Amino acid sequence: MSADGKITDYQNSAARFGSKNDKNHLEKQISLSDAVIFGANTLRSYGTTLTIKNQELLNLRNEQNKPLQPVNIICSNSGKINPELRFFSQDVPRWLITSLEGGKVWQNTNYFDQIFIINSWFDIFAQFKQLGIKKMAILGGGELVATLLELNLINEFWLTICPLILGGKNTPTLVEGNGFLQEQSKRLKLIDIVRIEDEIFLNYRVILP
């Protein structure tokens, strides 16, 4: 995110302001995950997902008997996602979380390997666990992060502070939604901090109630 806490600009453009170090850091975190999850708006902004290309990371996943690419899970209540996005031609497993109506959009198609109709996030996560998803990386956006944070379903944050100011009173931030009152705020414990050139890499653990 930017130094003023924004994850994109006021036009919701794809965030490409991170350095090569930041991209490598993200690729490593993805490689350590069984799945990545992100909202449909994030997918629409980028059109693709970040795949693991570093051969050392691919070799490590192979040694651990993991698929070369983690499962990519899209969240879309409406289910309205352009099937012509390049994402659908990338060599990754694809799952969809949607509503009953949203699921009808993808009936009798093979764009997604699995479709989950959401009733409860706790039920969804329980299903994921049964399917072997033990570690999942949430890549955005702010609404999805807010929802899962409110339900205490996030246990760590990995943040890169990039050296720029984006501003804008309506510009998206890391956590959207309605927000938290001070006495209800989610507390964090700093686990690690690394500076590489002008970027700061932070790892926080969420202090769960």
pLDDT > 90? residue 209? no
pLDDT tens track for 102-155? 999 999 999 999 999 999 999 999 999 999 999 999 998 999 999 999 999 999
Residue extents of the structural domains in the chain:
20-206
pLDDT number for residue 15 = 86
- HEC string of the chain? CECCCECCCCCCCCCCCCCHHHHHHHHHHHHCCCEEEEEHHHHHHHCCCCCCCCHHHHHHHHHCCCCCCCEEEEECCCCCCCCCCHHHHCCCCEEEEECHHHHHHCCCCCCCCEEEECCCHHHHHHHHHHCCCCCEEEEECHHHHHHHHHCCCCCEEEEEEECCCCCCCCCCECCCCCCCCHHHCCCEEEEEEEEECCEEEEEEEECCC
Per-residue confidence at 198, pLDDT binned at 50, 70, 90?
very high
pTM: 0.93
**What's the confidence (pLDDT) of residue 123?**
96
CATH of domain 20-206: 3.40.430.10
Q: pLDDT of 67-78, one tens digit each?
A: 999 999 999 999
User: What confidence tier does 12 reach under pLDDT thresholds 50, 70, 90?
Assistant: confident
